[in-house]
Amino acid sequence: MMSDSRHSVSVADVVVDDQGRALLIQRRDNGHWEAPGGILEQDEDFTGLRREVEEETGLDVSPIALTGVYKNMPRGIVALVFRCKADAGSLRESDETSAFRWVTTPSIVPIRQHDGVRVLGR
């Protein structure tokens, strides 16, 4: 029997300010701190990353560069991580976010596979 070969594509948006800090959101559903983003709709192109950030933060962003590619092996989700800059808007909580934090970013970007918790195949 053939396994399902479909994958979901998610985007994470590392919004960086003028001081080089990255924006993290606190998710309402699990309390985790992470970059804004989410799953792209089936008929949506990569500009969906702008929609995801606006929904979760209130910011209108522009992507600058692709900075990482990750895969959650068990769930079949390929995550594309983009560095972005905020063009307009102001931070606001949403149904998905409860708080915001600006953090210093590392300069090394790893390439890895994970199972949602642990890095696989180091």
pLDDT tens-place values along the chain, 122 residues long: 456 677 888 999 999 999 889 999 999 999 999 999 998 888 888 888 999 999 999 999 999 999 888 888 888 889 999 999 999 999 999 999 999 999 986 655 555 666 767 777 65
> For residue 57, which phi and psi values (nearest 5 degrees)?
-130, -25
- pLDDT value at residue 53: 94
Neighbours of 93 (CB within 10 A): 15
* Structural domain boundaries in the chain: 1-88
For residue 21, CA distances in Å to 28, 59, 84, 93 come to 22, 15, 11, 19
pLDDT at position 100 is 95
**CATH superfamily to which 1-88 belongs:** Nucleoside Triphosphate Pyrophosphohydrolase (3.90.79.10)
Contact 12/37 with Cβ under 8 angstroms?
Answer: yes
Q: Which amino acid is at 50?
A: R
pLDDT at position 121 is 67
DSSP β-bridge partners for residue 12: 37, 81
